[in-house]
Structure 1
Amino acid sequence: MQVKDKVVIVTGAGSGIGRATALHFAHFGAKVVVSDIDLEKAQKVADEIVTNFGESLPIKANVAQYEEVENLIQHTVTAFGRLDVMVNNAGIGPKQLLKTAEHTLEDWEAVIAVNQTGVFYGMKLALQQMLKQGSGNIVNVASLAGLKASINNLSYSASKFAVVGMTKSAALEYAKTGIRINAVCPGYTESALLDKLLSARPDMDTMLKSIIPMKRYGDAKEIADAIVWLASDQTKFMTGQTLILDGGTSL
């Protein structure tokens, strides 16, 4: 992967896909800012990178707060002089899986704030820095739920459909500036979100695997591999795309 010495921010990097992505970038020589709402988790990932690969910096940020995302970008540029790659990965699911009429306002507001508005903040502020540089790369983590209907999960589905749309719109706007913007759409992947779902509904494990043609969940490292590839110089003619990684579920 051609990402050596690139300065990369990964949000939600304290666990799951974010952690795997941060480690994967570092493995290929990138300088990684590990951002998470939980600074202790971010610190552990950054320490792992420093011990095994190279440079890393942990920064606490709640992506639903504009000022915290602004600080994240500014701190990164102060430390490393630039921002080459922004991975908007931080995301949450609703506390309760309910049909639309019963969907709680609390879940709607929280999920949209992180998954949709948080990605907007990350894109907006990263783009401002990348325009100054004349180059950059953004990878947004959407979901299969942003491409297909997802019952009892309206806020999550709405937010991920929005991420796909924002990716395409912004990619078109900035294609001629040297900035590329793409998204990945994971299917059911081993992560904190899936663990939460299965702990609430253990019976869903067999059901979910039955609808995945590969009969297994995705591994966070497999999603990370796609994210790093999209951010690398090996995909210079690729922008506005949504890469589906779902074990064939969408088929």
Structure 2
Amino acid sequence: MRFAGKSILITGAASGIGRAAALAFAAEGGAVALADVDGPAAESLAQEIAARGQRALAVACDVRRYDACERAVRSVVEAFGAIHVLVNNAGVPSRIYKELEDFSLDEWRDVMDVNLSGAFHCIKAATPSLKAAGGGAIVNTASVASCVAAPGMAGYVASKHGLAGLTKAAALDLIRHNIRVNAVCPGLTRTPMIAPALADPQMRAFFEAKAPIGRMSEPEEVANAILFLASDAASYIVGALLSVDGGVIVE
């Protein structure tokens, strides 16, 4: 039980990678706080985890708003006493493929507000609790788009490159408080976010061919990496970007 006696706050916890991470942390003895803009979905997952005899709390939270992140942190501390691990998983995909000059300001702000500012808000709000607990770990869900670019995705790529930079900067600022900050960089992952595209056999084959491993990842595979970085087994890993991409970046 790697996380017995620990409390974990996960954003974007109601589905996909966040859901897989929540289930995995709970199975390893952690008390999980499920923060998501979809409050009912987070509550449903909390009930599922509780039915297994594990501790879970649902928290409705829009990470674009700093005050919402502060309230989420307070709720977790009131329920579990502290925060030992923060997983910044909330994110939005690149819904719009277009040339940079055609991006509207609203489209740009939308992806930045969630993918980059949302992580900053949560780190800032949770740091006092992590410090009070004597330290802990922060794991950001970045992307292969944190390391490489693609045409027609300026907003998404910029937001994820920014998250990689935030990971490194926060790691240097917080390690003196015994708080390790790292990130996972998933490739294409089989989540509800891309389910509509996977319904098309040709599109599914295209996605699978993108990775040298010959398939997409499952959310649980990314969750395994998140748990590793949050665990004591990664005690000397600081500011790392761990690729979980089936070989996309190295190809």
**TM bucket normalised to smaller:** over 0.9
Task: Indicate if the aligned counterparts of 2:197 and 2:204 stay in contact, CA closer than 8 A.
Answer: no
**SS class of match (2:211):** coil
User: Are 1:66 and 2:63 counterparts?
Assistant: no
Structure 2: any 5+ residue segments left out of the alignment?
none
2-structure distance, mates of 1:195, 1:107: 22
CA 1:248–1:94 in structure 2 vs 1: closer, same or farther (change >3 Å)? closer
2-structure distance, mates of 1:207, 1:133: 46
Shift of 1:17: 0.3
Task: Indicate if the aligned counterparts of 1:167 and 1:182 stay in contact, CA closer than 8 A.
Answer: yes
User: Are 1:224 and 2:219 counterparts?
Assistant: no
Structure 1: any 5+ residue segments left out of the alignment?
none
Aligned to 1:2: 2
Shift of 1:104: 2.7
Shift of 1:196: 4.9
Aligned to 1:180: 180
Shift of 1:198: 4.9
List aligned pairs for 1:92-131, cutoff 5 A.
92-131=92-131
Shift of 1:94: 3.6
2-structure distance, mates of 1:214, 1:79: 42
CA 1:212–1:126 in structure 2 vs 1: closer, same or farther (change >3 Å)? same
Amino acid in structure 1 at the alignment position of 2:120? F
Considering only aligned residues, what root-mean-square deviation do their CA atoms show, in Å? Answer: 1.5
Amino acid in structure 1 at the alignment position of 2:206? M
Aligned residues: 250
Aligned to 1:159: 159
1:80-117 Cα shifts (integer Å, max 9, x gaps): 11100000000002432112121232221111000000
**SS class of match (2:116):** helix
1:148-182 Cα shifts (integer Å, max 9, x gaps): 01221111111111111111111111222211000
Aligned to 2:247: 248
List aligned pairs for 1:35-50, cutoff 5 A.
35-50=35-50
Shift of 1:134: 2.5
2-structure distance, mates of 1:197, 1:125: 36
Task: Indicate if the aligned counterparts of 1:187 and 1:249 stay in contact, CA closer than 8 A.
Answer: yes
Amino acid in structure 1 at the alignment position of 2:240? Q
Identity across matched positions, percent: 37
**SS class of match (2:113):** helix
Q: What is the TM-score when the length of structure 2 is the normalising length?
A: 0.95
Instruction: List, as ranges, runs of 4+ consecutive aligned residues in structure 1 with deviation greater than 3 Å.
Output: 196-199, 201-204
Aligned to 1:86: 86
